[in-house]
Amino acid sequence: MHLAPLYPQLYKILKPSFPDCLWSGKGDRKVVALTFDDGPHPQYTPQLIQVLAQHQAIANFFWLGCCVERSPQIAKEIYQRGNWVGIHGYDHTSFPLLTADALQLSLAKTQAAIAKACDLDPKDIRDVRPPNGLFTPRTLTLLRQWQYRPVMWSVVPEDWVRPGIDVVVNRVMHQVVNGSIIVLHDGAHGGQDVAATVAQLLPLLQAQGYAFVTIEQLWHESKL
């Protein structure tokens, strides 16, 4: 079942209901945050990196700890190119299904894997996007307790079901506004198309005057 038409309505409901999450930018600047979940993937992510570099675009990657452990050099290259990195859980288990101890371990293992691969202080890796976008108020309470920052989304073109590159691009361009956080995937589900999708998408966004920013920049601006 394809849920793409529902995501814009979910966003309108969830954003005011959970204001401590980062759902989008303030909307006063023509910027977007490109985000990619489920990587790094040994084949799809290097292809994506090259497309981003060709268009001089920065992005944000929410990684699975198990994938970082398998491809640490790819993770390192992404970070060294100026992209922002965050946590997507260790193995894509939905956070509400985990006990508090299991969730804390999943986050800590992923944080440690990213820190090792990218030569970062683990305390600097604080942004978390829940797998499948699923969370509960308890999830958010625990994230705050452990000093993590929950990052959500405003444009979800459902690329992981592979509806076609043109369909994904059209969905994004139809929904994008100032400050949008766009979710795409460079992992096992959807990653097959991600480089070609982004190669089409970036020139269209740039032609409309959008600049690409990091999640850190959006957090900073949200406090101004």
92 is known as an active-site residue: no
What pLDDT score was predicted for residue 103? 98
Instruction: Express as a percent the part of the chain with pLDDT over 70.
Output: 99
Per-residue tokens: 52: 């981003």
- Burial profile 64-98: b = 16 or more Cβ within 10 angstroms, e = fewer: bbebbbebbebbbbbbeeebbbbbbbbebeebeeb
Q: How many CB atoms lie within 10 A of CB 125?
A: 21
Marked catalytic residue, from 38, 185, 186, 193:
185
CA dihedral sign of residues 200, 21, 215, 222: positive
Marked catalytic residue, from 37, 38, 127, 193:
37
55 is known as an active-site residue: no
DSSP conformation letters of the chain: ---GGGHHHHHHHHHHH-TTSB-S--SSSSEEEEEEES---TTHHHHHHHHHHHTT---EEEE-HHHHHH-HHHHHHHHHTT-EEEE--SS---GGGS-HHHHHHHHHHHHHHHHHHHT--GGG--EE--GGG---HHHHHHHHHTT-EEB--SB---GGG---HHHHHHHHHHH--TT-EEEEE-STTTGGGHHHHHHHHHHHHHHTT-EE--HHHHHHHHT-
What pLDDT score was predicted for residue 34? 98
pLDDT per residue, tens digit, the chain (224 aa), is: 477 888 888 888 999 999 999 999 999 999 999 999 999 999 999 999 999 999 999 999 999 999 999 999 999 999 999 999 999 999 999 999 999 999 999 999 999 999 999 999 999 999 999 999 999 999 999 999 999 999 999 999 999 999 999 999 999 999 999 999 999 999 999 999 999 999 999 999 999 999 999 999 999 998 76
Q: Model pTM?
A: 0.96
